[in-house]
Amino acid sequence: MFMDIDSALSHVKKVLAEVRVYNHACATLSFDQETICPSKAMQEQGEVSAFLSNKAFTLQKDEKYLAACRYVHMHRDELTNDFDRALEESLYRDYIREKNITPAMQHEASLIYNRAYVNWLNAKKAKDFSIFAPSLKEVRDISLRDVQLNEKRKPLAYDTIFDGYERGLTSADLDATFNKCKERLVPLLKKIVASKKKIRTDFLSRIVTDEAQTKMSRYLLETMGFDFERGAFTTTEHPFTSELGKNDVRVTTHYYPNMFYSSMFSIIHEGGHALFEQNQPNENFEHFIEYNKTMGMHESTSRFYENRIGRSKEFIHLIYPKTCELFPEAMHDVSEQEFYEAMNTVSPSLIRTEADEFTYTFHVIIRYEIEKMIVDGGVEIADLPRIWNDKYEEYLGVRPSNDAEGILQDVHWSSGFGYFPTYALGNMYNAMYYNKMREDFDLDAAVLAGDFKQINGWMTENVWKCADRVDPKTWIKGITGRDFTPDDFLDYLEKKYSEIYEL
């Protein structure tokens, strides 16, 4: 059917260009659904999105397209640049994963995920897990069905699923990493909780209007270097970033009148995701690999800006005057040092997205251990709230009083499993390249000066530029010259919080 690599590759890209149009429309509908869509319209919105998603999927089931993909794979040694080689690898992964999934199966899955999102939203509002439980069972079952249809599935179903988020890593890697985290962080958490150092936090619950928080969100995005000609921001129930297209990256946050700091670090986090997308090479779009980066890579960036930059003494010094200006009633009697310490207080809590930097890892470990049980352990869905609550009491010494502040707080399981560990991996990746960055230039001075052009320039050249073309282990070693390790992150936590709590 195809006589040379160029004609096969040309046909692949022609089809992918059409697929991209459908995916753009689906992303727009999804963004609308999670921001301003009326509650009674959500089910219909999801059905429209599922229909369009299925159109895109069906295009990639066309025999001529599949023949072109197979030809490119068989003649991959003839590819002349890294971008096309990355595309070939991505095509082959998708082919193996979706080879035995029919358009009808894909449409069924899309409907399940969209229905699950609506049911999760209703369950969270009602603080009642039983409303979401049937959908969670459907999501689990459809996930396991897809694993069984994968001809290159791994011995553990969870590993097959997780490979879709962080290729090349397994639950064995995660177990070893998280065991080391527990070994080093549990004793330190006990010392912090027992510390006599008292951090002032009374001002954090003072009322700040949505209008003032909106102005702060814009200021923070502008400071970070977010391009408003290619992006926008608004509010949602659960903050996220949506990459609709090359020139359309949107971020969201959520305003709480009595927790002004929540939206600040939410917008910095999502802004980090957006910077990754806004600063990737144009060649990624030309070769259809713009979504090839892993979630761990992505979370490394969002949490780099949120924590390593955003909660640093230097960044607090930079934004302190503006915070006092925009939030005068909350900040009128708060010193810069008090503000810094409050932004870094350690307090075991229930909500992951509001968790302090130190205890955040425990929130991820809890979710990882539970979703492994859901996928591989045969746990009863009805038992999950109790298991969740027990683990929070075991690891953090707190226990949810209802499902909304417990198992229903996150949206992620409405669309599958495997995402949560990438948050922790992201922290560990960025701890490694943060140390490398400090070797290359005076990072503290750049933050103090608000010189994000220099910071983002380094990130573009070292972190973002090649992310869509390599696997995570190769990527982090290419940046730092070292194999992946959680030690940089754990060293950082031990040093920083021992100083803050005078241990």
Active-site amino acid positions: 270
Residue with tokens 């991209």, as numbered in its chain: 20
Buried b (16+ CB within 10 A) or exposed e, 159-173: bbbbbbbbeebbbeb
Query: What amino acid occupies position 138?
Result: E
The count of other CB atoms within 10 Å of the CB of residue 477 is 14
- Residue 232's DSSP bridge partners are 250
For CA atoms 185, 191, 192, 194, the dihedral sign is: positive
3-state secondary structure 367-429: HHHHHHHHHHCCCCHHHHHHHHHHHHHHHHCCCCCCCCCCCCCCCHHHCCCCCCHHHHHHHHH
- What ranges make up the beta strands (E) of 246-369? 248-253
Q: Which helix (H) or strand (E) holds 181?
A: helix 171-194
Q: Are 399 and 276 in contact (CB under 8 A)?
A: no
Query: What amino acid occupies position 35?
Result: T
Q: Report d(CA 488, CA 472) in Å as an integer.
A: 17
DSSP string, 137-170: HHHHHHHHHHHHH-TT--SSHHHHHHTTTSTT--
Taking alpha carbons only, the member of 493, 359, 474 closest to residue 434 is 493
- Contacts of residue 328, defined as CB under 8 A and 6 or more positions apart, other chains included, come to none
Query: What amino acid occupies position 98?
Result: E
Q: Report d(CA 266, CA 213) in Å as an integer.
A: 11
Q: Report d(CA 60, CA 68) in Å as an integer.
A: 11
Q: Report d(CA 253, CA 217) in Å as an integer.
A: 9
Residue with tokens 């969201």, as numbered in its chain: 252
